[in-house]
Structures are given as structure tokens and as C-alpha cells.
């Protein structure tokens, strides 16, 4: 039986419509465009009646929408990173001791409250359907993000910090009603800091149901034993100091930021 076609997006630009159609078809979803011929015959035409419609079979509707939403947020986040000069190129010493040619300076994003608010909205969208009571963030980068996401989702908030080289929940928080948390981080590479947060919460009898981050710069390699959502995934090479090609080329080394957390 033939599937019913469902319109999932409308465009007033034929190029954008073609890109969206190709994007879905590259992921195995058959897609169709309507009104495309009208646009080609009458350039510049744009009205509610003649917008180009992107259609898919009804059984592919939800997945197609999710893919397009993810593509849109990916593009928006890249624009935020570039617009706030948060992606730096050079030769950087990471807090892990490893070296990299690219550094994501999250402080540039947090310095812009409007950009930070938009990032938190995107993180909240990823988590809103999950069952948890509290949002947790590690000091320092995760604190502002976790607090704002908790406010948006009407959840509780706690933060963790490293004390005597061990991750712990900041003293003073009442954890008696905290049962399930979502952990928010700014940048994840290997996931070492996040795993410390999960472990310290688990030691208090608190379950981590999900982790969300602005950028996963580990290319999807981190495994926390629960769903991990990132707004942007980057596969950025890092090298041990004694194997760094930039050191061998004599490129000056800089140490951005100041934090004792592991990455």
C-alpha cells in the first residue's frame, strides 16, 4: 500500500529546498518537492500559496523532522561559535597535558548572555522529554549552563567541584529529594570530568539519566552508560606532547583558559 505523503517543511528558496531534500535522501529517506516547477518558471515568486513543500512518507515523518532539526541546530551553533570567535586555531596545551591545533573557547560564548541563553534553550530541547528532577553541572563551565537549563525546565539545580583532587557535590546543597539528574557540560573531549561527576553522584545514590554538552570534541568516543546529547560534534585530533607535530614544526605553544579539570 502506498504511503501518504506529508509536508514537513516549506521553503521560499529553491536552493535550500534542494539541499534539505538531498540531506534526507543521503540518510535513506525518500523525499519529494512540490511547487518546484512554479518557482523555476517564475523566479522570485514567494507566497504562502506557492512555497516549495518538502514531503516524505508518513512513516518517515518523525525521523525526517528530527534530522532536519538537528541539522538546523548544528548550523546555528557553528554560527554562534564563529560569530563569538570561540573557535581558535593555533597550538594549544590542553588541561589534560595533550596538545591540539584547535581550541573551543567556551568563555567567549558565556561572555555573551544572549548566545548563552540560546545554547541553553537548545540543550533544554534535547532533555525536556526525559524523566529527571535535577540538573547538575561541574565547576566552572557547567554551572551557568546547568542553572539556566534547570530554570527553563523547572528542575532543581546542583553543581559539583573538585576538592582535594576529588570531584564532589558542593557543600550546602540539600540532596534528600535529588534522585535522577541530567548532567550539563560545556565541552567534552574524553569525558573524564563528566564521568567523575556521574561517579560522585552515584556514590550519593543519585542516578544520571543523561549527559548534554555544547560541543563533543571527541567525535562521539565518550561513553557514559546513558544517553549523551551534544549540540555539535567535532572530531579534533589531540596528541601527547612528545608526539605533537606542531612541536616538531616549532609552532609556539599557548595554554588557554585556567582550570584544573581533566578533559
For 170, other C-beta atoms within 10 Å of its C-beta total 12
Cell of 178: 535529588
Q: What is the pLDDT of residues 166-197, one digit of tens each?
A: 898 998 999 999 999 999 999 887 788 899 99
How is the chain split into domains, by residue range?
5-68, 84-248
Question: 29-43, 120-134, 185-199, 245-259: which range is least confident on average?
Answer: 29-43
**pLDDT surpasses 60 at 263:** no
DSSP-derived 3-state class of residue 141: helix
- How high is the pLDDT of residue 260? 41
Better pLDDT: 151 or 33: 151
Cell of 230: 551534544
What is the DSSP secondary structure assignment for residue 8, as one 8-state letter?
A: E
Q: What is the pLDDT of residues 48-82, one digit of tens each?
A: 456 888 899 989 888 888 777 766 667 777 778 87
Mean pLDDT of 221-233: 89
Cβ atoms of 33 and 77 within 8 Å: the answer is no
- How high is the pLDDT of residue 248? 93
- How high is the pLDDT of residue 262? 41
d(CA 74, CA 86): 15
**pLDDT surpasses 70 at 46:** no
Domain 84-248 is found in CATH 3.30.70.330: no
Mean pLDDT of 211-235: 86
Question: What DSSP element (H or E) covers 180?
Answer: strand 180-188
Name residues whose C-beta falls within 8 Å of residue 257's C-beta, 6 or more positions apart in sequence. Answer: 95, 105, 107
Signed CA dihedral, 110, 234, 132, 128: sign only: positive
Cβ atoms of 133 and 213 within 8 Å: the answer is no
d(CA 35, CA 44): 13
Answer yes or no: same fold for 5-68 and 84-248. no
Cβ atoms of 147 and 137 within 8 Å: the answer is yes
Name residues whose C-beta falls within 8 Å of residue 80's C-beta, 6 or more positions apart in sequence. Answer: 86, 109, 115, 118, 119
- Please report which confidence band the pLDDT of residue 112 belongs to, taking 50, 70 and 90 as the band edges: confident
User: Rounded mean pLDDT of the chain?
Assistant: 84
Domain 5-68 is found in CATH 3.30.70: yes
Amino acid at each position: 500500500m502506498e504511503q501518504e505523503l506529508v509536508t514537513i517543511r516549506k521553503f521560499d528558496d529553491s536552493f535550500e529546498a534542494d539541499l534539505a531534500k538531498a540531506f534526507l535522501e543521503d540518510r535513506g529517506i525518500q523525499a519529494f518537492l512540490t511547487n518546484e516547477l512554479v518557482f523555476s518558471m517564475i523566479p522570485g515568486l514567494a507566497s504562502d500559496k506557492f512555497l516549495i513543500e518538502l514531503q516524505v512518507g508518513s512513516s518517515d515523518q518523525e525521523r525526517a523532522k528530527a534530522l532536519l532539526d538537528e541539522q538546523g541546530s548544528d548550523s546555528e551553533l557553528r554560527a554562534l561559535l564563529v560569530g563569538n570567535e570561540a573557535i581558535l586555531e593555533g597550538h594549544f596545551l590542553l588541561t589534560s597535558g595533550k596538545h591540539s591545533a584547535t581550541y573551543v573557547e567556551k568563555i567567549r560564548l558565556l561572555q555573551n548572555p544572549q548566545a548563552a541563553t540560546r545554547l541553553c534553550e537548545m540543550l533544554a530541547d534535547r532533555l525536556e522529554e526525559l524523566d529527571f528532577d535535577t540538573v547538575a553541572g561541574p565547576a566552572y563551565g557547567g554551572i551557568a549552563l546547568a542553572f539556566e537549563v534547570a530554570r527553563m525546565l523547572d528542575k532543581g539545580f546542583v553543581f559539583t567541584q573538585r576538592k582535594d583532587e576529588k570531584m564532589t557535590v558542593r557543600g550546602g546543597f540539600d540532596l534528600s529529594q535529588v534522585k535522577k539528574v541530567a548532567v550539563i557540560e560545556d565541552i567534552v573531549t574524553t569525558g573524564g570530568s563528566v564521568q567523575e561527576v556521574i561517579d560522585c553522584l552515584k556514590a550519593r545514590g543519585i542516578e544520571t539519566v543523561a549527559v548534554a554538552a555544547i560541543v563533543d570534541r571527541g567525535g562521539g568516543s565518550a561513553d557514559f552508560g546513558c544517553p549523551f546529547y551534544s549540540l555539535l560534534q567535532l572530531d579534533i585530533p589531540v596528541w601527547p606532547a612528545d608526539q605533537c607535530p606542531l612541536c616538531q614544526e616549532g609552532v609556539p605553544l599557548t595554554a588557554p583558559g585556567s582550570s584544573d579539570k581533566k578533559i
